[in-house]
Amino acid sequence: MKIPAPIAMLAELTHRCPLSCPYCSNPIEMARQDSELDTQTWARVFDEAARLGVLQLHLSGGEPASRRDLIDLVSAARKAGLYTNLITSGIGLTERRLGDLDKAGLDHIQLSLQGTTPEMADEIGGYKGGYARKMQVAQWIGEIGFPLTLNAVLHRRNLHQLPRAIEMAQEMGARRIEVATVQFHGWALKNRDGLMPTREQAQTASRIVAEARAALKGQLVIDYVPADYHDDFPKRCMGGWGTTGLNVTPDGQVLPCHAAQTIPHLKFDRVHEKSLDDIWYNGSAFNAYRGTDWMQEPCKSCDRRLVDFGGCRCQAMALVGDASATDPVCVKSPHHGALQAQADTHASQTDAQLIYRVSPIQKVEPTS
């Protein structure tokens, strides 16, 4: 198999975050602040990424604004020739800091939305006043003129707010909204009882998205990640393992996908030890599930195997205990029926309390 160069890199600058969303897909054990890569190392990694063929750099976290050197990191990425996208909750961004990011060459911002009302957003984010702060940041983003995508994560508690989220994206002047039904990785797995949408909600969301896409054609792009536990075919996770993108964790481990550390037998190379090029082409974790040779039946002989590459490896690991198994979302998986029943059971737990991560840092003061 000819290995293509990656198009995108997700740089998880830090796991620190002022919010503590119960759907957080970061690992349960987060990287400590004193293990985070320093500015110079990130700059070298950005250079290596550009030479490898990466075009888009997504600066993420945790909350990337928690890094005091964020402006320098954006400058370094632009110097390397990368298109830079900041994925943020907005907390920790001031008007002045946004202006400095603009001067440093930041190309695009993705702003997360935990809910369309202060009550919902602050409850889900676990951060009082977060919604008001976010609305202020959205206004500054518009005034500066950054291209904006609104990222709405939807689940059983806030799916009814989907129409308003789409309206808000238009009001903010966003070019795109990403409507992602909660995916259960990392911390989120603990909250399936509290967040799993019902089958009816999942169907309603798909209808609302289809109608809005037709009505807003040419005005707003709507990317949509459906509720896959209720689906019959899995998503093509990461565009196929080791084909389009890579993630670098705060402490410099290079992963084929955001949740790959949940697959216990994989060994991850670090940017301190090897070049990104060597890791991408020769790293054992990247080659573990490339192509189709690793597949078992029913994927091995399935005519969709190059369409979805058997679904999500991390989901197969989490739900079936075998990362090379067919993603149980697939109707051909022997575990599909049990998963659908399990999804309905989770969705019926209307009294379930949300389980919040006890974050070491509850509040990030804006850096002026």
# residues near ligand SF4 by CB under 6 A: 14
Question: In the complex with ligand FES, which residue's Cβ is closer, 146 or 309?
Answer: 309
C-alpha to C-alpha distances, 63 to 22, 97, 224, 257, 302, nearest whole angstrom: 15, 15, 23, 18, 40
Residue 260 binding: pick among ligand FES, ligand SF4, none (C-beta 5-8 Å cut-off by kind): ligand FES
C-alpha to C-alpha distances, 127 to 71, 103, 122, 168, 297, nearest whole angstrom: 25, 30, 5, 21, 46
Give me 3's structure tokens.
């290995």
**Residue selected from 104, 109, 121, 257 as contacting ligand FES according to rule CB under 6 A:** 257
**Residue selected from 327, 328, 339, 357 as contacting ligand SF4 according to rule CB under 6 A:** 327
Q: Does 314 bind ligand FES (CB under 6 A)?
A: yes
Q: Does 231 bind ligand SF4 (CB under 6 A)?
A: no
Backbone angles phi, psi at 314, to 5 degrees: -70, -35
Residues 40 and 247: their CA atoms lie apart, in Å, by 18
270: DSSP letter: B
Q: Which stretch binds ligand FES (CB under 6 A): 97-105, 109-117, 257-265, 276-284?
A: 257-265
Q: Which stretch binds ligand SF4 (CB under 6 A): 53-61, 209-217, 306-314, 317-325?
A: 306-314
Contact 16, 66 (CB under 8 A): yes
Q: Which stretch binds ligand FES (CB under 6 A): 46-54, 221-229, 251-259, 358-366?
A: 251-259
Residue 238 binding: pick among ligand SF4, ligand FES, none (C-beta 5-8 Å cut-off by kind): ligand FES
Residues 4 and 269: their CA atoms lie apart, in Å, by 19
Which stretches of the chain bind ligand SF4, using CB under 6 A? 233-234, 298-299, 302, 304-305, 308, 310-311, 326-327, 330, 332
